[in-house]
Amino acid sequence: MNLIVLLNNDFIDDTHITLTDKRFEHIRTIHQSSVGDSVKLGQLNGMMGTGIITAITDNKVDIEVKLDQAPPEKLPLKVILALPRPKMIRRIFRSIAELGIEELIIINSYKVEKSFWNSPALTDEKVEGYLMAGLQQAKDTVLPRVSFKRLFKPFLEDELPAIVQGSRGIIAHPATGKPCPHSINESAVLAIGPEGGFTEYEVNKFIEAGFEGIHLGERILRVENALAAITSKLY
Amino acid sequence: MNLIVLLNNDFIDDTHITLTDKRFEHIRTIHQSSVGDSVKLGQLNGMMGTGIITAITDNKVDIEVKLDQAPPEKLPLKVILALPRPKMIRRIFRSIAELGIEELIIINSYKVEKSFWNSPALTDEKVEGYLMAGLQQAKDTVLPRVSFKRLFKPFLEDELPAIVQGSRGIIAHPATGKPCPHSINESAVLAIGPEGGFTEYEVNKFIEAGFEGIHLGERILRVENALAAITSKLY
């Protein structure tokens, strides 16, 4: 936790907050802070800055905050991702926020098991928690937008053209297309398939929507490594 | 598992193997293969190729193998990493093999808790298992070299100069130095610190050894994302 993200109900007034939950525990046990120490914090979807600890007890910490810095810019990158298996959801959503991706669109795909859509990891509250963990790691305050599109064909045909318009559409597909471009100076929409990849039909639907196939060389990376690797090459 | 890695004692003769362990389970339950189906495989630290299933029962599979392809080249990249916390070891070691890094040197650092060195994840057998999982994901057969250097100063002063000689030394250190270079056409040695980073003393020891500080922008990435992101930028 390199930045503590504050919610509206942490605020007593404009410049004073009290924390009692695991953020308090983090300040007490990891930072081992005491009165007068400073801590980096930011308001969810708002400004970042510094807090000075004014009181700390066994069950809460009071902090006087000064929020005067803008959060870092998001990358001009939207990611379209086939729903990952439940045990990967936490890590991947956290990475989306950590890497500075502005929007995540989760879609269905032939190789996504139907049961994955019922995962308890997909509640709004859980998803926000994973994203906030990524923000607190990366020192950012702004949640990426997240949406779920369970119907592949209507999404690809009816919604995707407007999403990719004016951006570069890229689909990661090992053994297809060109090497991943690097240092692009434009916004992009990146599609990454499930474990086992998109089917040929699915890849072709993206190509029809104007996407280009790219690969990362001979090695097949897991989704979370491919996500970090491609994002890093593009920007 | 995109490639099944074979050990010497899987071989009955030069072209026939029998599998009974979780690789067999993978072929039976994930691939759902039957007699006559082909499977991608490779010999640990050796050639890759294809196998044809000649018999499959409830407890073993017999495969006739033809190994005629060289594994992918490693990246000319050595990584020096402060020992990660035990729960991260598996994932990071697996990623090292997956990303094609040729050598991993695990070092001590001020912010590494002493107890981490006693982790059961660090036995030779466990480490080889994590690396093999990465190879099987990435379709490679060659284990990266791994070594452990528990004494920071002797390693930095006595061993590092010879390791970095003829290569570009790079240390990831947020807020220090220049942006991470990309598409370099030379071998490199990349140092990444623990959670919380290297101390200034430690960074300076790397600088003295000829390393340059690089950053990935304003965001602070977790070690595993930094590893994939920097590797991807460099090569």
Low-confidence ranges of chain B (pLDDT < 70): none
Which of A225, A234, A235 best probes binding to B when mutated, by most B CB atoms within 10 angstroms?
Answer: A225
> Helix, strand or coil for residue B178?
strand
Cβ distance B195 to B225 under 8 Å?
Answer: no
Which residues on chain B are in Cβ contact (under 8 Å) with A96?
none
Is residue A61 within 8 Å of residue A37, measured between CB atoms?
no
Q: Mutating which of B4, B222, B235 best tests the A interface, going by the most A Cβ atoms within 10 A?
A: B222
CB-nearest partner of B229 from A72, A221, A232: A232
Nearest to B80 by CA among B159, B136, B143, B138: B159
Query: In this prediction, what percent of chain A has a pLDDT beyond 90?
Result: 96
How confident is residue A177, by pLDDT bands cut at 50, 70 and 90? confident
pLDDT-based confidence at A131, cuts 50/70/90? Answer: very high
Domain positions in chain B: 4-69, 75-234
Examine the pLDDT at A153 and tell me if it is beyond 90: yes
For residue B31, what is the nearest residue in chain A, using CA coordinates? A196
Contacts of B181 in chain A (CB under 8 A): none
Question: CATH number of the domain at B4-69, out of 2.40.240.20, 1.10.3720.10, 1.10.10.10, 1.10.579.10?
Answer: 2.40.240.20
- The answer to whether the predicted template modeling score (pTM) of the entire model surpasses 0.90 is yes
Neighbours of B120 (CB within 10 A): 8
List own/partner pairs for A23-27 with CB under 8 A and 24 or more apart.
A24/A59, A24/A60, A24/A61, A26/A1, A27/A53, A27/A56, A27/A61
Residue type, B79: V
Alpha-carbon distance B108 to B81, whole Å?
8
Residue A1 pLDDT > 90: no
Unique residue bearing structure tokens 């190994």: B67
Q: What gap in Å lies between CA A90 and CA A122, rounded to an integer?
A: 9
Contacts with B, A 185-224, CB within 8 Å: 216-222, 224
Confidence of residue A234 (pLDDT cuts 50, 70, 90): very high
Looking at the complex, does the CB of residue B151 fall below 8 Å from at least one CB of chain A? no
**Mean predicted lDDT score pLDDT of chain A:** 96
User: Is the distance from CB of B220 to CB of A138 less than 8 angstroms?
Assistant: yes
- The minimum CA-CA distance between B208 and chain A, rounded to whole Å, is 28
Q: pLDDT tens digit string along A94-108? A: 999 999 999 999 999
Which chain B residue is nearest to residue A216, measuring alpha carbons? Answer: B232
- Cβ pair A225:B230 closer than 8 A: no
pLDDT at A14 over 90: yes
pLDDT reported for residue B176: 74
Q: What b/e string do you get for A114-127 counting C-beta neighbours within 10 Å, with b at 16 or more?
A: eebeeeebbeeeeb
CATH 3.40.50.10860 fits A75-234, yes or no: no
Per-residue pLDDT band at A174 (split at 50, 70, 90): confident
CA A83 from centroid of its chain's CA atoms: 14
Q: ipTM, 2 decimals?
A: 0.95
Residue A215 has pLDDT above 80, yes or no: yes
Per-residue confidence (pLDDT) for residue B174, from 0 to 100: 81
Q: How far apart are CA B104 and CA B190, in angstroms?
A: 10
Residues A109-114: what's their mean pLDDT?
A: 96
Say whether pLDDT at A24 is over 90: yes
Residue A196 has what pLDDT? 87
pLDDT, one tens digit per residue, over B203-223 is: 999 999 999 999 999 999 999
Contact check, Cβ <8 Å, A137/B218: no
Given a contact cutoff of 8 angstroms between Cβ atoms, the answer to whether B228 and A230 are in contact is no
Residue A30, class by beta-carbon neighbours within 10 Å (0-12 exposed, 13-18 middle, 19+ buried)? exposed
